[in-house]
Structure formats: C-alpha cells, structure tokens
Amino acid sequence: MVRVGINGYGTIGKRVADAILKQDDIELVGIVKTKPDYVALQAVKKGLKIYAPDADSAKAFASAGIPVSGTLQDLLGQVDVIVDATPGGVGAKYKPLYEEVGVKAIYQGGEKTHVAEVSFSSLCNYDEAVGRRSVRVVSCNTTGLLRLICTLHNAIGVKSVRATIVRRAADPKEIKRGPVNSINLDPVKLPSHHGEDVKTVLPWLDIITAAVVVPTTLMHVHLVNIKLSRQASIEEVLQALQSTRRIILVDTKRTGIKSTAEVIEAARDAGRPRSDVPELVVFKDSITVNGDEVILFQAVHQESIVVPENIDAIRAVMNIASREDSIRKTDETLGLGKPLW
Amino acid sequence: MVRVGINGYGTIGKRVADAILKQDDIELVGIVKTKPDYVALQAVKKGLKIYAPDADSAKAFASAGIPVSGTLQDLLGQVDVIVDATPGGVGAKYKPLYEEVGVKAIYQGGEKTHVAEVSFSSLCNYDEAVGRRSVRVVSCNTTGLLRLICTLHNAIGVKSVRATIVRRAADPKEIKRGPVNSINLDPVKLPSHHGEDVKTVLPWLDIITAAVVVPTTLMHVHLVNIKLSRQASIEEVLQALQSTRRIILVDTKRTGIKSTAEVIEAARDAGRPRSDVPELVVFKDSITVNGDEVILFQAVHQESIVVPENIDAIRAVMNIASREDSIRKTDETLGLGKPLW
C-alpha cells in the first residue's frame, strides 16, 4: 500500500483525494489545507485527516474548531509520495522540503518544467516516470492535447500540430477573475505556452498553439489541426480514439450536444461527482480527415482532466504497476469512459 | 450623383446611411424602417426620409406620429441602387421586386450566394462587380478573412488558409441571444460556412474554417494560419498589411492592447462614431512567419466592418469610380486607418 499525502486541497487536490479513496493500492494519509473554510469542514465530514502548512495555520484551524492532525512536516514524515496541488509556482517553493524529507513528489502543470525530473502524460510517457523522484503532471490543456496526439501517434503517427485553444476565463468557484465581456489574446505573441508544454513530453513534435480567453467557466475548447505521418481514413482515426477510455466521443447527431454547457449538463444529469468530465471530449461529427490532415473540436474539463494522470503518476513513481495495469485500474475505479447517456 | 435607398435600418443599414451622407457622389434618398421605435426617431432627427415597407406599416408610423414619405415601392421608384440591409434571408424575398422595378441591388452576407450576380470584397474583386445588376457584400467574418487573404495574396501569394473563428454571441443591442456561459461549436461539423463564403470570392483557394460562439458582444477574433505560395519575411508581411487603410495593426508592446475590449475602448476614447472599428484589426505582435507559414490573430468589428465595402459596391455597380478611386474616397471620407492613439 503506497502512502500518499496531498499538499493543497483546492480544485485539483480535493479531486485527487476523492480519486485516491477509490484505489486499493494507494492510501490517503492526509491532506494539507491552508484555511479553515467550508472545504475544510467537508474534508472533516469525509473523514480525511487535515494537516496545516505550519504551526500558525494550525492555530487558525484550532480556533475555528476544526481538528488538525499536525503540520505539513508531520504529514511528510508518514508518506511515500506527496501530491503537490498548491497554486502554480508554490510547488517549487516546497520542493527543497520534499527533497530533504526524501518523499517522492507529484507536481502540477502550473509549475515550471524543471521542477520535476519528468513531465507526465499517462498515454504518452508513463514508462519515463517509473521510479522517478519527481514528476510533473502537465496542465489541463496540455493533458487534453497530449491525450489526442499520443492516441493518434501510437495508432497512425503524427507529424505536426496546429491548435487554437479557446480558454474558459475562470473556474466556477472563482469570483474574482474575468473577462466578463471580451476576448483576450493569451498571449498576443505566438506561440502560447501550451505547445511548448506539449514538447516537454514530446520534444520531437512540430507544434504551434494559440490561445484566447473567453467569458465562460465550464470547459476549454480546442480546434486541433494535425498532420499525420501518412494518409489515413476517418475510420482509422475513430478506431484510435475509441481505443482509450480517456477519450469520450460525443455524437452530436444522436445526442444534440454541440457546446460545453450541454456536455456539463449531461454529466450533471448522469450523476457524475461534481459534474466532472475527466475524459477528453472529442466531438465526433467535427472529425474531418483530408488525406494526412485531421481537424477536430475537443473540449477539456479544466477542473478534472488531470486527476487520472495524478493517480497514474503515483503508481509510476512507486513502480507498483505497469502502464497498462495502472491506466486500466484508474479508468475502472474512476468510471472513465462510462457513457453519459 | 447616384441615388440610393436603404431597405432595412438596423445594425448595417444605419451605418451605411451615415457613410453615404459623407459621400459627394452618392445621395441617400431615403431609408426603409419597419417599426416606429427610437431608431426611427433618431433617423427623423437626422433629417432622413423614412419609408415604410408597406401601407400597413405606414399606418403604424402615422399613429406613432412619425412622418413617412411613402412605402418601399415609392422609394424604389426614385433610386438607382437599393442597399438591402434587411435581416438574413429577407433580401431574397425582395429580390423579385427590385428586379421588377429595375433598380440595382446590394445585398448583405446573410443572403445566400446566388441572390446576386457576384459576391464582393473591395480588396479582392472590385472589378468583377463593375456594372452588375446585383452584388452581395460578404459577411463580417468573411470580409475580415478576405481583407487579410487578398492583401497577402496581392503582395506575396497565398496557397491555403486554416482559420479558427471565435465569434461574439450577440451584438451589444441584442437582448435575446446567448450563450451566457458556454462555448458553442458553430457548427460541430466542419468546415464552418466562412471558408465556403470566402470561396464565393476566391474559388481557387484551399481554405478550411472552424467557428465557436462565446459569451461576448464586442468583436470576433480569428486565429489565421496561412500558407504563402513562397517563403517570406515578417517585414514583407508587415509591409503588405500596412499598404491598406482597411487594416489597422495594433502594436501591443506600445499600446498594451491585447483584447477586444481594449480595442473598442480605444475607439470610444478616440471619438469614433458608435465606437466603430470598420478596419480589420491585426495584432502586430502575434504575426509569426515560419518560412511559407504565417500565423496571426485578428479581430473583426461585426457591426461596422462591411460598411466601406457597401459604399464601394455602390460605386462598382454604377461604374462611377475605379477600384483605387473608390477605395481611396471611402477610406478618406470614413476616416479609415486613422490612428486610434
């Protein structure tokens, strides 16, 4: 049984915690939370052990009447792996502490590449993460791009990628972000960092991405244009995409779904926890194949898409399962690929 | 003096009216308005002659105390050219009437291609419209794409285009459209009609477009990927784009502008009428040239970008000015290319 702690209990941390609770080979020792708010109260209710980042924060929890089991330092003493789900850039500050204690660390995509020995995407490079001391699970958009690219690359071969990323402005819970009525080029100067981030996993790939931010909270949408390494049929492309539970194909003709709002509504109605859709959502009717060129729309649920990869990363660094076994176990326990209708 | 009437006084009609009032070779005889609302009151105040679509509507105007000069039929009897700025698809219904009376007609991009003898974009095919009985000014997104493509094609040569169009959900005045919180694929099945519409003017072009609709009202944004017919330098591309007043280059390093909201705010502050930006806005810092590949962001002000093309189309069908003379006259009278800062 691998013993794991989670540092940071926000959007990613709370979802990784729930996912770990569903695994039989990974034990959640505790989570680190900075503030004694409603999310902390829910964690207590769920039976999780809460740790504070330091003694001062621990006092704040105590005066709020929320019991803590110690500090981050105490938690680190009891775990094999720490999943760092702190805000972007904060993980790098904790890195020396993790290394000093000698725990393996899983960072998130908000950290710079060099924070970890390897950047990670289950379908692309699980084996490169095996036994490592530190791994960085790439960000939500990069995870979405990599799932598509590696699935097509493994089945057919990919030469180059051009993608436009239409980003959601804020997560549903974020009340201070925008824009409210604007399309922001993010950034103006091309390429956006997403393509560069893809190259941390696939350094050989010719990829250029561009991103805009738009006033919505639900999901990102990508228009992806891929040059395959040979001509292919649409059937081959569909077969490849259907070969993994990490990708859901949405059939618009059958379901009527043609927007992010309808994808999330389907997930709500289907009883998905938090209405999450950790699978990459590819719109089947958008798939266009012209010789060696594939064009399609896909949607990325920014809050949950990296959760399966975090679970796989834990197994990889501890070398307790092969790529295939870890992915199968994660997919089954999290219900990935389960039809939404 | 060419005598012109405008059928429809909405987003496009009222702007074309204002633009005609600034021309010394085109006279605005009157406009057709369907409802006696605030826009009709403003037209009266401006001294425009209002015509009703039919006798019934004329009565509604009369009972609202707004004087009308007659019906559409009366207006058609007094003009050489009718600019049809009715809602998409309605122009086709009026077509038999225009032909019966024998007036030349300028339709908008909301009409199907075959409504007119030729689809029109000033920088691409002015000469094809000379002397025609009917012309269709292509839609806002198509006009934006064509301005860019023809400018680069005339200067360097264009082979193929791939573009992602991030569409505004509604115009500022439209209170019944959405989405409020979603990214809608429009449509899911590729390509979107925009590329097909570009081909009504440039039938030889290999172009595929994809479009999403997002919750904003100000402008559309395009990410355009162009294959030139030869390798080019960024200086050549810049020089081409600077050669026309129909394109504004926004320098983000100098202005800080990196969104549609900031472009429109600059136009408001600069005293542009209605804060309109009829120029295609190309973000200079986004321009990326790799050999024969050009990638850039551009923004399209959907309410006003087709106005200069409507004025040019009038001159073309009446054969009263050459392409160069018409474009120069339109640009000067409408203040196109006038710096916003």
Strands in A2-7's sheet, in edge-to-edge order, are: A50-51, A26-32, A2-7, A81-84, A104-107, A134-137, A118-120
* Domain CATH code at residue B160: 3.30.360.10
Which pLDDT does position A233 carry in this prediction?
98
**Tokens 């024998």 -> residue:** B102
Percent of chain B as helix, strand, coil, to the nearest 5: 40, 25, 35
- Assigned domain for B272 exists: yes
- Assigned domain for A229 exists: yes
Residue A114 and residue A21 share a domain? yes
The single-letter DSSP state of residue A279 is S
φ, ψ of residue A248 in degrees (nearest 5): -105, 130
- Assigned domain for B339 exists: no
Q: Do A221 and B212 touch (CB under 8 A)?
A: yes
Which pLDDT does position A202 carry in this prediction?
98
Better pLDDT: B203 or A339: B203
Which pLDDT does position B286 carry in this prediction?
98
The answer to whether B29 and B314 have CB atoms below 8 angstroms apart is no
Residue B245 and residue B230 share a domain? yes
Q: Do B283 and A188 touch (CB under 8 A)?
A: yes
- Assigned domain for A339 exists: no
The 10s digit of each residue's pLDDT in B105-164 is 999 999 999 999 999 999 999 999 999 999 999 999 999 999 999 999 999 999 999 999
- Assigned domain for A18 exists: yes
Length of chain B: 341
Nearest CA in chain B to A299: B183
- The residue of A174, A212, A250, A284 whose CB has the most chain B CBs within 10 angstroms, and thus the best one to mutate to test that interface, is A212
CA-based nearest distance B289→chain A, Å: 10
Which pLDDT does position B296 carry in this prediction?
98
* Domain CATH code at residue B6: 3.40.50.720
Round the average pLDDT of chain A to a whole number and report it: 97
Specify the 3-state DSSP secondary structure of A63: helix
Domain with A188, as residue range(s), is 141-300
Which pLDDT does position A130 carry in this prediction?
98
Question: How far is A128 from A83, CA to CA, in rounded Å?
Answer: 18
Cα→Cα distances A207→B59, B188, B225, Å? 63, 24, 13
The 10s digit of each residue's pLDDT in A148-189 is 999 999 999 999 999 999 999 999 999 999 999 999 999 999
Residues of B in contact with A162 (CB under 8 A): 162, 225, 295
Question: How far is B292 from B147, CA to CA, in rounded Å?
Answer: 19
Specify the 3-state DSSP secondary structure of A158: strand
- Other C-beta atoms closer than 10 Å to the C-beta of B269 total 11
Question: How far is A318 from A104, CA to CA, in rounded Å?
Answer: 8
> What's the burial of B61, exposed, middle or buried (CB within 10 Å: 0-12/13-18/19+)?
buried
Rama region for A67: left / alpha / beta (φ>0; ψ in -120 to 50; rest): beta
- Assigned domain for B318 exists: yes
User: What is the value of pTM for the model shown?
Assistant: 0.95
Question: How far is B22 from B310, CA to CA, in rounded Å?
Answer: 13
- Assigned domain for B340 exists: no
Average pLDDT over residues B12-18: 98
- Assigned domain for A341 exists: no
Cα→Cα distances B115→B81, B89, B92, B184, B235, Å? 15, 9, 6, 29, 40
CA-based nearest distance B17→chain A, Å: 28
Which pLDDT does position B229 carry in this prediction?
98
Average pLDDT over residues B276-286: 98
The answer to whether A86 and A102 have CB atoms below 8 angstroms apart is no
Residue B203 and residue B78 share a domain? no
State how many domains chain A has: 2
- Other C-beta atoms closer than 10 Å to the C-beta of B203 total 7
Rama region for A50: left / alpha / beta (φ>0; ψ in -120 to 50; rest): beta
Residue B168 and residue B316 share a domain? no
Amino acid at B75: L
The answer to whether A323 and A291 have CB atoms below 8 angstroms apart is no
Question: How far is B335 from B341, CA to CA, in rounded Å?
Answer: 14
Residue B126 and residue B198 share a domain? no
- The residue of A223, A234, A252, A282 whose CB has the most chain B CBs within 10 angstroms, and thus the best one to mutate to test that interface, is A223
Residues of A in contact with B183 (CB under 8 A): 166, 168, 214, 216, 218-221, 259-260, 299
Q: Do B166 and A215 touch (CB under 8 A)?
A: no
The 10s digit of each residue's pLDDT in A286-317 is 999 999 999 999 999 999 999 999 999 999 99
Question: How far is A52 from A65, CA to CA, in rounded Å?
Answer: 13
Residue A235 and residue A88 share a domain? no
Residue B292 and residue B169 share a domain? yes
**Percent of chain B's residues with pLDDT above 90:** 99
CA neighbor of A11 nearest in space, from A279, A304, A273:
A304
Residue B197 and residue B276 share a domain? yes
Chain B residues with a Cβ under 8 Å from any Cβ in chain A: 162, 164, 166, 168, 179, 181-191, 208, 210, 212, 214-221, 223, 225, 252, 258-262, 283, 285-286, 288, 290, 295-297, 299
Residue A287 and residue A169 share a domain? yes
CA-based nearest distance A285→chain B, Å: 5
Which pLDDT does position A301 carry in this prediction?
98
Question: How far is B32 from B9, CA to CA, in rounded Å?
Answer: 6
The single-letter DSSP state of residue A256 is -
Residue A268 and residue A145 share a domain? yes
Residue A289 and residue A163 share a domain? yes
Residue A129 and residue A232 share a domain? no
- Other C-beta atoms closer than 10 Å to the C-beta of B179 total 18
